[in-house]
Amino acid sequence: MEDYKRHLAACDQPRRNDLDGRGNLSDEALAEFSNFFLRTCIDQVTFMESLMQPERLRARILTWAEEEIKLGTLPPKSGNILEAMLYRGELPRSDTTGVVGTGPRQARRVVSALLEKGVLASASTRAPLRLAFPATLASRWMPGLFPEKTGNH
């Protein structure tokens, strides 16, 4: 935080010489702040990527779906919808029948179960579906993102 404040305050310094920009303030200090800020952003993205392991997110979500299907808490073909969501980002409800590979009634049943579990969301009953990340599944879908709770409080 100290580095941030120091770099930001330096941006308000008057220009140092004729080679330090055209305005009243230091372009050199602004460039240094911008460089510091972007390096910090990249560092944070790298850190979060190491925690979330996005390259393994698909496998974690689909494994969860398979387990839920085996337990009988999700209907068969639920993984098809989730996999489509992972690739498309958003899924029109009219596409669910083709994705599930069954009739419209079964597709609606799958979508309803996923909405009920909180893993899909939609702005309305006609709006496209999008993948949601419920807090209840955070430790399962994104292990390492949140510290595990221990019995010692």
pLDDT tens over the chain, length 153 residues:
788 787 767 766 666 656 555 556 567 777 888 899 899 999 999 988 887 787 888 999 999 999 999 999 999 999 999 999 988 889 999 999 999 998 999 999 999 999 999 999 999 989 999 999 888 888 888 887 766 666 555
What is the pTM (predicted TM-score) of this model?
0.67
Q: Does residue 69 form part of some domain?
A: yes
If asked whether residues 11 and 40 sit together in one domain, one would say yes
Number of folded domains in the chain? Answer: 2
* Residue at 150 is within a domain: no
CA angle 75, 60, 46 (to 5 degrees): 145
DSSP label at residue 18: T
9 with 17: CB under 8 angstroms? Answer: no
Does one domain contain both 14 and 72?
no
Q: Is 153 domain-assigned?
A: no
